[in-house]
């Protein structure tokens, strides 16, 4: 099948799901008034489908599948070379530049690439047929040009206890029943990026598991509208601004992200969609490889969003008439330096990629963790500098209703004016956009997600300590100093 158009994608997700928003059960969400809140996240995904149709971006947005031989959206591609790993980062930067928000497709993309090699290795050791199942499943995804969510994070309950020690065993998603035709699972997954906007999802365990925790070592594919799946739409800062008249107060009114609280209430999974079931020794491999791929991703997506924020900061300096002030110019240079450093990390861990036995390519794990460790810090500094240059007006400005008011609007516009050649409406829109990226809805995907997505900072530090090879560095010193 050909690649989906944005319009075909939109029609394809208009299906019955169990969705709650603000305490209300939503039917046909695309017709509900709350769709004004959901629509920007859908527009973001539509942009991906649009870019894949454009000749100037096809080298980044599409690839040739080694499974089908056909052209596929790169977000469904299994990496076949170092070049693929690099093109992934370049693609993610492009989409970040085009949308200025989380575009919701990286998690499923990274989960698929992790599963590809892990299923092959499980089969080699255990004599299972997970790899063939996964390939067949993924061929269907590629042929239909589907969007796939990746789901890993469990609710975890009492963090001091293991999954099998919880007073409520469902705090980690688990197998509760097994038959010849499949399994039944129960639990919940949180922080699920783009789940409502996805056709399918890949479910993974959230940590390395131990003997006695076999029921939690489960990975499978599922349709996001499968019976027993309930979605609760995540609340975001300033989200109900999208329900108001006018669009400027939203900041980025075209595009946005989406996080879903997903509950699995005795969901049936057929055998041919199960990719791990009880193989606890491989649960850690799956978690770590997914984390590596996803930490690599942040060297592209967050850089693209950073490009837009830096552009907005430079533009507000012009609008304020201070673009030549030396200390403000230096702050923008620092923003550029931090952003390109993140990109360097994404390109570096991709350039040192290697081939797994399964045939697919994987990034350098140490440098991927270095990339994500920097991402937990640099976007916050870039955001702080943007707020510094823009000024305190980004969090005290009157609403668009006041801006457009017949009674007070003229006075608001008079005192929000700066340079004679700068339209006051343009400055107003830009200030709201910076607010959106630094402290509004988009700050979720740019700052908070930078901190906690793909594991919070300590997770990377643990991996850096494991991958850093201190013993080899000690031997270097001993060699130089002739120490036995």
pLDDT digits (tens, 9 = 90+) for 313-338: 999 999 999 999 999 999 999 999 99
Catalytically annotated residue among 77, 79, 199, 294: 294
Whether residue 484 lies inside any domain: the answer is no
pLDDT, one tens digit per residue, over 390-413 is 999 999 999 999 999 999 999 999
pLDDT, one tens digit per residue, over 120-169 is 999 999 999 999 999 999 999 999 999 999 999 999 999 999 999 999 99
For residue 28, indicate whether it is catalytic: no
Based on the fold, state whether residues 215 and 246 are members of the same structural domain: yes
Residue 441: pLDDT above 70? no
| Strongest mean pLDDT among 246-260, 339-353, 460-474 | 339-353
Whether residue 474 lies inside any domain: the answer is yes
Whether residue 68 lies inside any domain: the answer is yes
124-138, 269-283, 435-449: segment of lowest average pLDDT: 435-449
Specify the CATH number for the domain of residue 69: 2.40.110.10
Catalytically annotated residue among 9, 62, 79, 106: 106
Whether residue 1 lies inside any domain: the answer is no
Based on the fold, state whether residues 247 and 297 are members of the same structural domain: no
Based on the fold, state whether residues 43 and 120 are members of the same structural domain: yes
Based on the fold, state whether residues 219 and 368 are members of the same structural domain: no
Based on the fold, state whether residues 233 and 300 are members of the same structural domain: no
pLDDT bracket for residue 449 (50, 70, 90): confident
For residue 193, indicate whether it is catalytic: yes
Q: Residue 257: which domain range?
A: 6-278
Which of 278, 300, 329 lies at the terminal end of a domain, its last residue?
278
Percent of the chain at pLDDT > 70 equals: 99
Supply the pTM of this predicted model: 0.95
Based on the fold, state whether residues 107 and 168 are members of the same structural domain: yes
Whether residue 55 lies inside any domain: the answer is yes
pLDDT bracket for residue 386 (50, 70, 90): very high
Whether residue 103 lies inside any domain: the answer is yes
Based on the fold, state whether residues 307 and 169 are members of the same structural domain: no
For residue 7, indicate whether it is catalytic: no
Residue 18: pLDDT above 90? yes
For residue 298, indicate whether it is catalytic: yes
Which of 242, 259, 278 lies at the terminal end of a domain, its last residue?
278
Based on the fold, state whether residues 289 and 269 are members of the same structural domain: no
Whether residue 298 lies inside any domain: the answer is yes
Specify the CATH number for the domain of residue 297: 1.20.140.10
Catalytically annotated residue among 101, 102, 345, 349: 102
Based on the fold, state whether residues 237 and 372 are members of the same structural domain: no
Catalytically annotated residue among 39, 213, 387, 449: 449
How many separate domains does the chain show?
A: 2
The predicted model gives 286-297 an average pLDDT of 97
For residue 106, indicate whether it is catalytic: yes
Catalytically annotated residue among 259, 362, 387, 435: 259
Question: What residues contact 272, with CB distance under 8 A and at least 6 apart?
Answer: 133, 136, 137
Catalytically annotated residue among 233, 298, 319, 428: 298
188-197, 209-218, 446-455: segment of lowest average pLDDT: 446-455
Catalytically annotated residue among 101, 301, 345, 349: 301
Residue 448: pLDDT above 90? no
Catalytically annotated residue among 76, 119, 153, 193: 193
Based on the fold, state whether residues 89 and 196 are members of the same structural domain: yes
pLDDT bracket for residue 457 (50, 70, 90): confident
Based on the fold, state whether residues 359 and 332 are members of the same structural domain: yes
Which of 260, 278, 296 lies at the terminal end of a domain, its last residue?
278
Residue 1: pLDDT above 80? no
Based on the fold, state whether residues 27 and 149 are members of the same structural domain: yes
For residue 102, indicate whether it is catalytic: yes
pLDDT, one tens digit per residue, over 421-432 is 999 999 999 999
């Amino acid at each position: 099948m050909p690649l989906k158009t944005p319009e075909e994608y939109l029609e394809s997700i208009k299906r019955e799901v169990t969705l709650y928003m603000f305490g209300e059960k939503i039917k046909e969400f695309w017709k509900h008034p709350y769709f004004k809140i959901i629509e920007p996240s859908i527009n973001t995904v539509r942009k991906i489908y649009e870019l894949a149709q454009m000749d100037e971006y096809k080298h980044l947005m599409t690839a040739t599948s080694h499974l089908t031989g056909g052209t596929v959206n790169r977000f469904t591609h299994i990496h076949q070379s170092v070049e693929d790993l690099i093109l992934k980062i370049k693609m993610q930067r492009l989409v970040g530049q085009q949308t200025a928000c989380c575009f919701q497709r990286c998690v499923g993309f990274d989960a698929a690439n992790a599963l590809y090699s892990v299923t092959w290795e499980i089969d080699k050791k255990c004599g299972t047929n997970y790899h063939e199942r996964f390939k067949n499943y993924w061929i269907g995804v590629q042929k239909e040009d589907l969007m796939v969510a990746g789901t890993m994070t469990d609710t975890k309950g009492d963090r001091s206890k293991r999954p099998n020690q919880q007073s409520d065993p469902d705090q980690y998603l688990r197998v509760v029943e097994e038959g010849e035709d499949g399994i039944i699972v129960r639990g919940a997954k949180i922080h699920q990026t783009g789940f409502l906007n996805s056709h399918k999802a890949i479910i993974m365990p959230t940590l390395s598991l131990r003997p006695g925790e076999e029921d939690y070592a489960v990975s499978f594919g599922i349709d996001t509208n499968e019976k027993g799946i309930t979605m609760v739409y995540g609340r975001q800062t300033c989200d109900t601004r999208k329900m108001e008249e006018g669009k400027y107060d939203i900041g980025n009114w075209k595009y946005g992200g989406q996080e879903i609280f997903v509950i699995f209430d005795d969901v049936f999974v057929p055998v041919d969609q199960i990719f791990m079931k009880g193989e606890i020794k491989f649960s850690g491999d799956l978690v770590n490889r997914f984390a590596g791929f996803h930490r690599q991703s942040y060297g592209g997506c967050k850089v693209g969003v950073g490009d837009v924020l830096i552009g907005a900061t430079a533009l507000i300096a012009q609008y304020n008439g201070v673009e030549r002030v030396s200390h403000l110019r230096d702050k923008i240079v620092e923003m550029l330096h931090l952003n390109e450093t993140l990109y360097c990390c994404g390109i570096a861990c991709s350039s040192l990629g290697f081939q797994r036995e399964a045939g697919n390519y994987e990034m350098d794990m140490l440098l991927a963790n270095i990339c994500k460790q920097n991402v937990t810090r640099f976007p916050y500094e870039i955001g702080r500098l943007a707020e510094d240059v823009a000024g305190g007006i980004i969090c005290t400005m009157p609403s668009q209703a006041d801006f457009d008011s017949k009674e007070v609007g003229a006075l608001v516009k008079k005192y929000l004016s700066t340079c004679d050649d700068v339209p006051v409406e343009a400055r107003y829109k830009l200030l709201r956009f910076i607010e959106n990226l630094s402290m509004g809805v988009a700050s979720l995907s740019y700052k908070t997600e930078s901190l906690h997505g793909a594991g919070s900072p300590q997770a990377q530090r643990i991996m850096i300590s494991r991958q850093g090879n201190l013993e080899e560095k000690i031997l270097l010193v001993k060699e130089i100093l002739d120490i036995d």
